[in-house]
Amino acid sequence: GESVGLHLPTLSVQEGDNSIINCAYSNSASDYFIWYKQESGKGPQFIIDIRSNMDKRQGQRVTVLLNKTVKHLSLQIAATQPGDSAVYFCAENAGGTSYGKLTFGQGTILTVHP
């Protein structure tokens, strides 16, 4: 729906801390989830993905956790760095006839203080 005037959730952390960004999704039929990082004025950058048959996946400094029971997704960033400052979006793929179409969450602004 329309979200004019909506303020994105924000997370401020100190450099070196771990960050956890959360996302609630709505479609129980979604079978594929992705986290993207978007810096100001740029397109989204793929971070990590996870399929619905998994509950955890790890990458370099990042971990994604999926809880299908409560339809919740989280992104953990270890040893957060100033370069991690950006807006983070989760996205879901419903599969079926919607295969390939992504629905994006509202986003979270991460600010890392040196």
Cβ closest to another protein, residue 74 vs residue 98: 98
Q: Does 45 bind another protein (CB under 8 A)?
A: yes
Site for another protein in 69-88 (CB under 8 A): none
The 14-33 site mask, x for binding another protein (CB under 8 A), equals ------------------x-
Q: Within a 10 A sphere around the Cβ of 44, how many other Cβ atoms?
A: 19
Tell me whether strands 10-14 and 108-113 are parallel, antiparallel or unpaired.
parallel
Q: Does 9 bind another protein (CB under 8 A)?
A: no
Whether 30 and 68 have beta carbons less than 8 Å apart is answered as no
Which residue, 59, 62, 107, is CA-closest to 84?
62
Shortest distance, CB of residue 99 to another protein, whole angstroms?
8
Q: Cα separation of 95 and 46, whole Å?
A: 19
For another protein, the binding residues (CB under 8 A) are 3-4, 6-8, 32, 34, 36, 41-46, 49, 89, 93, 100-107
